[in-house]
Chain A
Amino acid sequence: MDLEIIGILVLWTFLFGYTMIASIDFGAGFFNAYSEFTGKEHILSSIIQRYLSPVWEVTNVFLVFFFVGIVGFFPRTAFYYGTTLLVPVGIAIILLGIRGAYYAFATYGKTKQKRYTFLYGASGLLLPASLSIVFTISEGGFVSINHGEPRLDYWALFTSPLTWGIVILSITALLYISAVFLTWYADQAKDKRASQLLRTYALTWAFPTIIAAVGIIYILRSHNPIHYENLLQLWWMFAISFIFFLGTVWLLIRKINYGLAFTLLVAQFAFAFYGYGFAHYPYLLYPHLTIYDSFTNKAMAISLISAFIAGLALLIPSLYLLLKLFLFNKDYVHGQASRHY
């Protein structure tokens, strides 16, 4: 396998990891705020807080890993994306800042205020919108090269149906992923009411997610025919993804085995995400940048991959410990173990 492909696979995998756990995190923040406004906070708050608190920094590192890694493996992306993304990513950083402030001040500092909760919940919906702009731009048509400098055409970007399609998909998918996960988590905690409420949220957002996804593929047909053709070639991946989706929904409707429902959901998104990624190959930014012309030198690539393997050897046992202590620990999940610090 080419070093280029190994590099992009590693990064794509971390991006997938980030989209999944960040979706849970962002969505949980939204449901938390929403329940406070509809007077249902007594049902949801504790379950959401219990899950979120120990893991949020880990979630953030996934993102850091991705953007540091992409500059390492594909340094030229810093030039193309760095110059054009200042505003959307700048806004995303501010929103991440608001979330971090919530953890710092409300969770660790124990100063509860409705204002924070609301800001925190709203940031969870705005973040996917601003981060998903990166996917939109990568489809090409919004960046032109002027005197050797890449420029982003904001007008084209904000009037394109593709942009809004992707924004809608990112939000619906996020709410769906989060609701399914939390249904399972609440069920583990034997919190029947929370689990039932979240289950209805999950079912609410299931079909809008699929509709948005199909809509995007349709828009791509005219926006980026090459990508569209490649997607069609990989139709079987999306078919498998859809079958998993039906599986999740069926389990939710029958109210059985939420653990399996969530597993199927991860598989559904994995197939769709990798299918989309393979179809995008070899472009990082249509039509200016591919993984081949932006790749770093061989010495750096080999040392990064070695560092990655060594790092994983360290990380996987630690992550396992974290999950074991908090996610799969009956006492903790039931809220019996101490949560003081």
Chain B
Amino acid sequence: MINEDAVYYSRILTELTLSFHIIYATIGVGIPLFIMIAQWIGIRKNDEHYILLARRWTRGYAITVAVGVVTGTAIGLLLSLLWPKFMEVAGHIIALPLFMETFAFFFEAIFLGIYLYTWDRFANQFKHLLLLIPVAIGSSVSAVFITTVNAFMNSPRGFDLVNGELMNANPIVAMFNPSMPTKVSHVVATAFMTSAFILASIAAYRILRGSKHVYHRKALHLTLTTGLIFSVSSLIIGDLSGKYLAQYQPEKLAAAEWHFETQKEAPLLLLGFLSDDGDVRFSIKIPYALSILAHGSPTAEVTGLDRIPKDERPPLYIHYLFNIMVGIGTLLIIVPLLYWIGIKRKWTWIKNKTFMWLLVLGGPLSMIAIEAGWWLNEVGRQPWVLYGVMRTAEGATTSEQVDLMLWMFSALYMMLGIGSVIVLTRMFNKNPIERELKERYT
């Protein structure tokens, strides 16, 4: 029995919750690394600016973590409430990483609590820095585990289907499924990348607002150089993700690329839109590029949508999502590269307003790329919730009250979203760096 309304509202509520959680989760995975780097440099060079950088980032981080915990708890429970049949199956095969994730949370939560309340409590600053290591490990490892679960949804392994019954479960094989290596590394790399650009945005914004303090220059330099490293690795791993798709989920790649007919020497379509009669208009065609992206060779054959049964084709709008993600990824390699060369060559225009605004945009843009990437990944898997095993509609609840829940949760997220923006801006506006530096030395 399938309740169409319940399926519809469950999908919207899941999408909403995850899209909201992922903002805080991405920041939660990435920022500890940067706090760690800043505090380490600060201790090594005995430079108070870096220590303060770490300290101020931590204050903001505590707030995003709190919202991340709330929304994460919500999604964790909602998965069972909205997708009971899916979770029953998932519980049998992929519960192990979900379970281990809670230990990672535990670990992170304990040490974060300690770290937050022990500034100035140790004579030796290094001891305090050490407390941050479990926080960074805990949050990255929890991203690894949860992404493993999602990878399993895209390429379920580790069980046999006998007359519709799941048999011979093997949790280890289920964890190390084909989608896991690329997915996990792409998610972690992009989380670091996004955090770097968000922190860079803040520094660039302060400079634009007229602050001449060298503190912001140091922050900008640190975040943009590390950001460049992570955006290049995101590109490389993203390319590997494409190759994974070509082999294991060809319809997702075909839909993302509007690749309708199976062919060799396949071209890559950039931008463009679909006319009402299904023709691609105004797109840029790059010869051989799709064959290279999919298989690493210009002559390789790439499966098109013609080989996929009609009722198993994902929605075609994921092409736009793919373009947004890749476009932003490319831009965020070029911009920090220009900045970096500019610093070495002493170009002055990298300090002008337009370029600074571009840096301010980097943070929001990378968050948009994260959202686009996840939507590409999840929508591209449709109509399956467990690829090839269970359709989305079969996994959903049959409860009558999902729409009510949707309204209540929308209100909650609205409050959390607006609240966190207000509180974060107020916190830093009330206490600008110039003042904090002065207070510490008087």
- The answer to whether A and B belong to the same complex is yes
Q: Which residues of A contact B (CB under 8 A)?
A: 53-55, 57-58, 60-61, 63-65, 67-69, 71-76, 78-87, 89-91, 93-94, 96-98, 100-101, 103-105, 108-111, 147-149, 296-297, 299-300, 303-304, 307-308, 311, 314-315, 318-319, 321-322, 325-326, 332, 337-341
Max chain A C-beta neighbours (<10 A), residue from B1, B66, B404, B426: B66
CB-based contact A87/B106 at 8 Å: no
Interface membership of B341, Cβ < 8 A: no
CB-based contact A85/B81 at 8 Å: yes
* B 90-122 contacts with A by CB, 8 A: 90-93, 95-96, 98-103, 105-107, 109-114, 116-121
Q: Would A299 and B171 be within 8 Å (CB), given that A108-B66, A304-B96 are in contact?
A: yes
Q: Which residues of A contact B110 (CB under 8 A)?
A: 58, 315, 318-319, 321-322
CB-based contact A63/B73 at 8 Å: yes
Interface membership of B298, Cβ < 8 A: no
CB-based contact B169/A101 at 8 Å: no
Q: Would A71 and B80 be within 8 Å (CB), given that A94-B408, A299-B170 are in contact?
A: yes
CB-based contact A82/B80 at 8 Å: yes
Alpha-carbon separation in the docked complex, A304 to B121 (Å):
38
Alpha-carbon separation in the docked complex, A53 to B88 (Å):
36
Interface membership of B397, Cβ < 8 A: yes
Q: Which residues of A contact B83 (CB under 8 A)?
A: 82
CB-based contact B169/A300 at 8 Å: yes
User: How far does the Cβ of B425 sit from chain A's closest Cβ, in whole Å?
Assistant: 10
- Residue of B66, B402, B427 touching A103 (CB-CB under 8 A): B66
Alpha-carbon separation in the docked complex, A93 to B111 (Å):
25
CB-based contact B59/A337 at 8 Å: no
Q: Which residues of A contact B96 (CB under 8 A)?
A: 72, 300, 303-304, 307
What would be 30 A-B contacts, judged by CB atoms less than 8 Å apart?
A54-B116, A57-B113, A58-B113, A61-B105, A68-B76, A75-B95, A86-B402, A90-B405, A96-B74, A97-B70, A101-B419, A104-B63, A104-B416, A104-B420, A104-B423, A105-B419, A108-B423, A149-B1, A296-B95, A300-B95, A300-B96, A303-B172, A304-B95, A307-B96, A315-B107, A318-B111, A319-B110, A338-B121, A340-B120, A341-B62
CB-based contact A96/B70 at 8 Å: yes
Alpha-carbon separation in the docked complex, A311 to B108 (Å):
13
Contact mask B400-438 → A, CB, 8 Å, 1/0?
Answer: 011011001100100110011001101100000000000
CB-based contact A299/B419 at 8 Å: no
* B 65-79 contacts with A by CB, 8 A: 65-67, 69-74, 76-78
Q: Which residues of B contact A94 (CB under 8 A)?
A: 408-409, 412
Q: Which residues of B contact A318 (CB under 8 A)?
A: 106-107, 110-111, 134
Q: Would A325 and B118 be within 8 Å (CB), given that A72-B99, A318-B110 are in contact?
A: yes
User: How far does the Cβ of A128 sit from chain B's closest Cβ, in whole Å?
Assistant: 16
CB-based contact A67/B76 at 8 Å: yes
Beyond A87-B404, A319-B110, list 6 extra A-B contacts (CB 8 Å).
A58-B109, A67-B76, A78-B85, A93-B73, A308-B99, A318-B107
Alpha-carbon separation in the docked complex, A304 to B110 (Å):
22
Alpha-carbon separation in the docked complex, A104 to B83 (Å):
29
* B 384-412 contacts with A by CB, 8 A: 397-399, 401-402, 404-405, 408-409, 412
Max chain B C-beta neighbours (<10 A), residue from A78, A85, A326: A78
CB-based contact A109/B95 at 8 Å: no
Q: Which residues of B contact A314 (CB under 8 A)?
A: 103, 107
- Residue of A76, A100, A111 touching B88 (CB-CB under 8 A): A76
CB-based contact B99/A304 at 8 Å: yes
Report how many residues on chain B are interfacial, defined by Cβ distance under 8 Å.
Answer: 77
- Dominant SS among interface residues on chain A: helix
Q: Which residues of A contact B72 (CB under 8 A)?
A: 64
CB-based contact A75/B91 at 8 Å: yes
Q: Would A93 and B59 be within 8 Å (CB), given that A65-B102, A75-B89, A307-B99 are in contact?
A: no
The 3 A-B residue pairs whose C-beta atoms are closest, nearest first, are A75-B91, A82-B84, A72-B95
- Dominant SS among interface residues on chain B: helix
Interface membership of B129, Cβ < 8 A: no
Q: Which residues of A contact B120 (CB under 8 A)?
A: 338, 340
User: How far does the Cβ of B305 sit from chain A's closest Cβ, in whole Å?
Assistant: 34
Alpha-carbon separation in the docked complex, A332 to B416 (Å):
31
Alpha-carbon separation in the docked complex, A148 to B120 (Å):
60
Q: Which residues of A contact B377 (CB under 8 A)?
A: none
CB-based contact B91/A296 at 8 Å: yes
CB-based contact B399/A60 at 8 Å: no
Q: Which residues of A contact B101 (CB under 8 A)?
A: 68
Determine the residue in chain A with the shortest Cβ distance to B66: A104
CB-based contact B405/A87 at 8 Å: yes
Q: Would A60 and B1 be within 8 Å (CB), given that A103-B66, A315-B103 are in contact?
A: no
CB-based contact A72/B98 at 8 Å: yes
Alpha-carbon separation in the docked complex, A243 to B119 (Å):
44
CB-based contact B87/A71 at 8 Å: yes
User: How far does the Cβ of A198 sit from chain B's closest Cβ, in whole Å?
Assistant: 23
- Residue of A63, A80, A101, A300 touching B92 (CB-CB under 8 A): A300
CB-based contact A68/B99 at 8 Å: yes
- Residue of B89, B119, B415 touching A338 (CB-CB under 8 A): B119
Alpha-carbon separation in the docked complex, A220 to B112 (Å):
44
Contact mask B113-151 → A, CB, 8 Å, 1/0?
Answer: 110111111000000000000100000000000000000
CB-based contact B116/A75 at 8 Å: no
- Residue of A63, A149, A339 touching B398 (CB-CB under 8 A): A149
Alpha-carbon separation in the docked complex, A244 to B11 (Å):
50
Q: Would A96 and B73 be within 8 Å (CB), given that A81-B80, A90-B408, A314-B103 are in contact?
A: yes
Determine the residue in chain A with the shortest Cβ distance to B100: A307
Alpha-carbon separation in the docked complex, A61 to B142 (Å):
13
CB-based contact B103/A307 at 8 Å: yes
- Residue of B76, B82, B426 touching A64 (CB-CB under 8 A): B76
Q: Would A93 and B77 be within 8 Å (CB), given that A100-B67, A110-B427, A341-B59 are in contact?
A: yes
CB-based contact A109/B423 at 8 Å: yes
CB-based contact A83/B397 at 8 Å: yes
User: How far does the Cβ of B280 sit from chain A's closest Cβ, in whole Å?
Assistant: 42
Determine the residue in chain B with the shortest Cβ distance to A87: B401
Alpha-carbon separation in the docked complex, A149 to B394 (Å):
13
Determine the residue in chain B with the shortest Cβ distance to A297: B169
Alpha-carbon separation in the docked complex, A148 to B85 (Å):
12
CB-based contact B103/A82 at 8 Å: no
